[in-house]
Structure 1
C-alpha cells in the first residue's frame, strides 16, 4: 500500500509510509506507576489518549491535591476535557494554566485584554487556516509545554479539534527507522507559515528574536522521559546533515504519522468547554469545516523548556 497524501510545499512520494498490522497503543510507559485518582472522575475517550473529567469546578480554587491529580492526568492521557465549565473566567483560566507553569504568549496570535491570553476568533471574514497537524511553538527554542483552551462561542455543528499521540507515532515506527532517526536533529521555523502574510520589514524584526531552531527528531518528554516523535508538517523544514532529497523524503514519512486515526482523539466543542493538552506529547488539528459560522476560543500556552 502506498500513500498519495501531499504535505504542502513538498512533493508526493510513492512509497510505504505507515506501519501495517497491529499497532502498539500504550497509554503510559511500561514502567510507569499506576495512578489512583481521588478528586477526579475520568472517562476515557480512547484507550490511550484523551479523557473527559467530571466532578471538578475549575472556577473554584485549585488545592494542592487537585493540582497534583490534574498534572498526573495530563501526563497519563495527554489531553483532558472538562465540559460545562459555565463559571470559568479569565482569572480561573490563568489559575488553571498556573498549575503547570507561566503563560507563554504567541507572537502571531492576537492578544486579549490580559497578558498571556490569546483570543482566537474566526467567522465569515476569517477562514480558518489551522487545518494541518502541528505542535504549537515548535519554532521556539523552548516550545510550549501545553495549552489551556476554552470555548467562548462555537458553531452549532463543526469546528471540532483532534489530537494525535506522538508517543504512539514513535512506538510504531519500524526498528530500522527508529535506529536511523535516533541521533538526528531537525530545523523548525515559523517563516514558511506565518511569514507569508508579513512584510519584509516585519519578518526582519521578528528574526532578531525568533531565528530558526533545532530540536531532536526523537525527543524524551521533559516530565515522563518517554520517547516521542517530534516533527510536524508546518514548522519542521529540514533534517540537519541530510541531502535535500533525503531530508524531504524522511520528513514526509515522519510527519504523516500524525494522520493515523488509531493515534487520535476527536473532541466536539460545546459552549464553556475547557481542554488542556500536552503540547510535546501531542499534535493537534483544528477542523476548519464551519465557514461562514463563527468560532471564538481563548487560549493560554504554558511556557516550556529546551527539548532533548
Structure 2
C-alpha cells in the first residue's frame, strides 16, 4: 500500500506577531513596586485587574487614601470595589474627581443633572456592545479614565473585560514596533455612533466633534509607558499609508486587544464599582444576558492630548 507523503507546511508571508512566551509586566521598566497601608489589594490576574478591599466609597476619601487608590490604578489599570451599596451618583462624581474633571459621553443619555451617563441594556440593545474599544478616543483629549457603577445586573452574564494595551505593545515584534514608530492614526465616531443617527444629527454633532489624529503608539500621560493606541470602532485609518496598507496594518493591530493573556474579566454584582485607566486599557461589555436587563451608570474623567 502506498502512503502519501504529508503535505508541506505552507510558508508564512510574514512572521507571527505572537508565538511562545509573552512578556506580562504589571509596571513599567524601572518603576518601583508600590506599597499599600490603607487598602487591601486582591489581584484577579498577575498583571491587570485587582479588587480593592477596606474602602467605603460613599464616605469622604482623605488624600492619603486617595493617593493609594490612584497608585493602585496605575499599577493594576482597572480596580474593582464590591458591596458599595450606598455609592450614589454624587459619590460617583466625587470619586471620579480624584483623577480630574468628570465628563459625560457626548452620545449617552444623562441619568441625572450632574452628568452621570446611564447605560440601560435590554432586549432592544442586543449585540450593541460587542467590540473592544477605548472611551472617547475620537476626542482631541480622550478620557483619562471611567467610573462604572452597577445599578441592575442580570442573574448571569453581563460581565465586562479589559485588555492591557501596554502588554499589547510590549509583545509586538521588534519589526512591527519599528514599522509603527512615529505613525499617527485617524479616530472618528461617525462609522460607529453615526450609524445610529440621521444625516442631520451627524452634521450637528460633527461641528463639535471633528475627526482627530493620535499617535499609534502613545506614552501614558502619568507613567510614560508605551501603549498601543488603536481600537476597532473609532480608529479609521493610518495617516500616510495607502488605503490597503492602512487597512492591513490596522486589522493586525486592533486584534491585539483580543489576546486572553492581556485581559481580565469581571463578574458584576449589585453594588459593584469599577474604575479603569482608559488610556492603558480597552474594554468589552459582554452582551449575553438577553432578555434580562443590565443597567449601569458611568462617568468619565476628562483627559489631555496624547503624545
Name the TM tier (shorter chain): over 0.9
Offset from partner CA, 1:159-205 (integer Å, 9 cap, x none): 00000000000000000100110100000000000111111111111
**Distance in structure 2 (CA, Å) of the matches to 1:250 and 1:95:** 41
CA contact (8 A) 2:122 2:293 kept: yes
Partner of 1:287 in structure 2? 286
CA contact (8 A) 2:17 2:173 kept: no
Please list every run of 5 or more consecutive structure 2 residues that lacks an aligned counterpart in the other structure: 1-8
**Distance in structure 2 (CA, Å) of the matches to 1:122 and 1:259:** 23
Partner of 2:260 in structure 1? 261
**Distance in structure 1 (CA, Å) of the matches to 2:137 and 2:288:** 25
Number of residue-to-residue matches in the alignment:
297
Bigger-Rg structure (1/2): 2
Partner of 2:111 in structure 1? 112
Q: How does 1:128-277 map to 2 (within 5 A)?
A: 128-277=127-276
**Distance in structure 2 (CA, Å) of the matches to 1:206 and 1:86:** 36
Offset from partner CA, 1:71-105 (integer Å, 9 cap, x none): 10000000000011111111211110010011112
**Distance in structure 2 (CA, Å) of the matches to 1:17 and 1:254:** 12
> 1:263 Cα deviation (Å)?
0.2
Offset from partner CA, 1:39-74 (integer Å, 9 cap, x none): 110000001000001111111100000110111000
CA contact (8 A) 1:116 1:301 kept: no
**Distance in structure 2 (CA, Å) of the matches to 1:106 and 1:128:** 20
**Distance in structure 2 (CA, Å) of the matches to 1:91 and 1:15:** 52
Secondary structure of residue in 1 paired with 2:125: coil
Please list every run of 5 or more consecutive structure 1 residues that lacks an aligned counterpart in the other structure: 3-13
**Distance in structure 2 (CA, Å) of the matches to 1:17 and 1:293:** 41
**Distance in structure 1 (CA, Å) of the matches to 2:199 and 2:29:** 50
**Distance in structure 1 (CA, Å) of the matches to 2:272 and 2:288:** 19
TM-score when normalising by structure 2? 0.94
TM-score when normalising by structure 1? 0.94
Secondary structure of residue in 1 paired with 2:109: coil
Secondary structure of residue in 2 paired with 1:275: strand
Say what the alpha-carbon RMSD is for the aligned residues. Answer: 1.4
Offset from partner CA, 1:109-146 (integer Å, 9 cap, x none): 11111332000001123324111000000000000000
Distance change (3 Å), C-alpha of 1:17 and 1:203: farther
Distance change (3 Å), C-alpha of 1:15 and 1:194: farther
Partner of 1:72 in structure 2? 71
**Distance in structure 2 (CA, Å) of the matches to 1:138 and 1:187:** 10
**Distance in structure 2 (CA, Å) of the matches to 1:45 and 1:169:** 18
